[in-house]
Amino acid sequence: MTDDSLQGRVALVTGASSGIGAATATVLADRGARVALLARRQDRLDELVGEITLAGGTALGVPVDVTDADALTAAADRAAATLGPADLVVNNAGVMLPAPVEQLRTDQWQRQIDLNVSAAMHTIGAVVPQLVSAAAEGRRADLVNTSSIAAENIFPNFAVYAATKAFITHLSRHLRVELGAKDVRVTAIEPGIVGTELQDHVTDPGAREWLDDTRDTVEWLTPQDVAEVIAFTAALPRHVNLQQVTIMPTRQAT
């Protein structure tokens, strides 16, 4: 039986060229949403849009560097002009670059802050008017922010990444109250380890070793696992807001 629980919805997904974002865009389109996919790599976006279209869905690839606030606003406007105003935003682009703080990898601190914090805020700024007006029309409207279990737990050498995710989780709690008054739901998704390209960017040998070790003992989540939870969250009745969802691999302790 076909699941069309998101029929009529218009979604915008950042970080849609790989991992959780790509899987989420695909699942949302499969459930009936029209989906804008935002990321930098046009070839990956073209490929995904092709796959979604072939499967009978509607998708638009919008290549953009989301750390460029003006370009991001233009991308959100282009998506709205083509697909209609967004009522389901998955604010997901992110990067994880662990390293001992004494190494003073200020370049990596900045990259994480620019993408995980500043670009996430600019994404919210670009889409909130669309979400508020969708809700005012009586439609379901969702802002789903991808945080991490790192927002809650302590992972040595992941301090800056974890702090950016704590920002996202705490921000989400506040925005849920602020926007909930306007019937916009806000959700923080906090996954444990998911097998994606995120781990490929890690340069610190200690962190790489830790990740490799967990792979031997824990069956990591797949991007599809997280995508299914996001689709479920968005399909709930309008008066139900999953505020914070922690998704762990069964064998991952913290």
Q: Which residues of the chain form contacts with ligand NDP (CB under 6 A)?
A: 15-21, 39-41, 44, 65-67, 92-96, 115, 146, 148, 191, 193-194, 196-198
Is the CA virtual torsion 172, 178, 179, 183 positive or negative?
positive
Whether residue 161 lies in the annotated active site: yes
Beta-carbon count within 10 A of 4 CB: 12
In the complex with ligand NDP, which residue's Cβ is closer, 114 or 180? 114
Q: Of the residues 72, 88, 130, 161, which is catalytic?
A: 161
Is residue 7 within 8 A of residue 186, CB to CB? The reply is: no
In the complex with ligand NDP, which residue's Cβ is closer, 178 or 197? 197
Q: Fill in the DSSP letter of residue 18.
A: S
Left if phi > 0, otherwise alpha if psi is -120 to 50, otherwise beta: which for 188? beta
Cα(172)–Cα(170) distance, rounded to whole angstroms?
A: 5
Min separation Cβ 226 and ligand NDP, Å: 8
Q: Fill in the DSSP letter of residue 50.
A: H
In the complex with ligand NDP, which residue's Cβ is closer, 38 or 128? 38
Min separation Cβ 123 and ligand NDP, Å: 10
Min separation Cβ 247 and ligand NDP, Å: 9
User: Hey, which residues are catalytic here?
Assistant: 161
